[in-house]
Chain A
Amino acid sequence: AQSVTQPDIHITVSEGASLELRCNYSYGATPYLFWYVQSPGQGLQLLLKYFSGDTLVQGIKGFEAEFKRSQSSFNLRKPSVHWSDAAEYFCAVCSGTNFGNEKLTFGTGTRLTIIP
């Protein structure tokens, strides 16, 4: 069965500092990987996704993530955070056979706080 681990429940960074949110997945075959952001009381917005090809993927809002098969990781990064980046971030994995059926497995999320 597929699973996702986000080791950091809560991260606080200063505005302008760099950010890395960790995500480790467990899945036997090549996974489809996603990062979503959720603002308080709202739905999820897709930041970026990895299906195949270049292991460094670029997303919206200046985010990027790198797929590392050897480490079963898909960490999210941003070189300089803005106060508006404060939100909950979810990593998710999906098998190719489940894709389209939205059997996404989400991590427990990382809450990002930005301090001035």
Chain B
Amino acid sequence: GAVVSQHPSWVICKSGTSVKIECRSLDFQATTMFWYRQFPKQSLMLMATSNEGSKATYEQGVEKDKFLINHASLTLSTLTVTSAHPEDSSFYICSARDHTKAAINSPLHFGNGTRLTVT
């Protein structure tokens, strides 16, 4: 079945550094990918929609300069947390669906997430 691979699965970084998270669709192509953030024991919040070949669409309240999204190909989207701070520590999850199929017939596939800890 369709798989979304997310890397790394966990990362620890120092405050002020930047961290890049990759999201790959392994056996399908996706013109859009979606980035969610999940705080401990809370729900998922959509951060942004990554669009292949164009700018990402950010949800209200999400800092574009803090969370840089690049969707360079139909199988890869990256989220870079710039100048990370402890409050950015969270679980980040990407998702995507096969764009060759109608959305109503194509389930959304989630990556296994990236646990970011900023010290």
Q: Does A44 contact B (CB under 8 A)?
A: yes
Residues of A with C-beta under 8 A to B93: 43-44
Write out the residue numbers on chain B whose beta carbons fall within 8 Å of the beta carbon of A41.
Answer: 9, 112-113, 115
The answer to whether B111 touches A99 (Cβ under 8 A) is no
B interface residues, how many (CB within 8 angstroms): 23
Residue in A42, A45, A51, A101 whose beta carbon sits within 8 Å of that of B104 in the complex: A51
Please tell me if the beta carbons of A99 and B103 are within 8 angstroms of each other in the complex: yes
Question: Range of interface residues on chain A?
Answer: 20 to 34
Chain B, Cβ-Cβ closest to A100: B103
For B113, list chain A residues within 8 Å (CB).
Answer: 41-43
B6 at the interface (CB under 8 A from A): yes
Distance (whole angstroms) from the CB of A19 to the closest CB of chain B:
20
B74 within 8 A of partner (CB): no
- Specify which of B9, B93, B104 lies most central, judged by the most chain A CB atoms within 10 Å of its CB: B104
In the complex, residue of chain B having the shortest beta-carbon distance to the beta carbon of A91 = B43
Cβ-based interface call for A11 (8 A): no
Residue of B nearest to A90 (CB): B43
A36–B108 alpha-carbon span in the complex (Å): 11
Assembly CA distance A98 to B93 (angstroms): 19
Which A residues from 93 to 116 make CB contacts under 8 A with B? 99-104, 106-109
Provide the residues of chain B in CB contact with A51, threshold 8 Å: 104
A46 part of interface (Cβ distance < 8 Å): yes
Which residue in B32, B103, B107, B110 is a CB contact (below 8 Å) of A43? Answer: B110
Closest chain B residue, CB of each to CB of A106: B43
- Considering only CB atoms, which chain B residue lies closest to A51 in the complex? B104
Rounded to whole angstroms, the CA-CA distance of A86 and B62 in the bound complex is: 32
Residues of B within 8 A of A101 (CB): 32, 49
Contacts of B110 in A (CB 8 A): 36, 43-45
**A102 neighbours in B (Cβ, 8 Å):** 32, 34, 46, 49, 95, 108
Residues of A within 8 A of B (CB): 36, 41-46, 49, 51, 90, 99-104, 106-109
List chain B positions with a Cβ less than 8 A from chain A.
Answer: 4, 6, 9, 32, 34, 41-46, 49, 93, 95, 103-104, 107-108, 110-113, 115
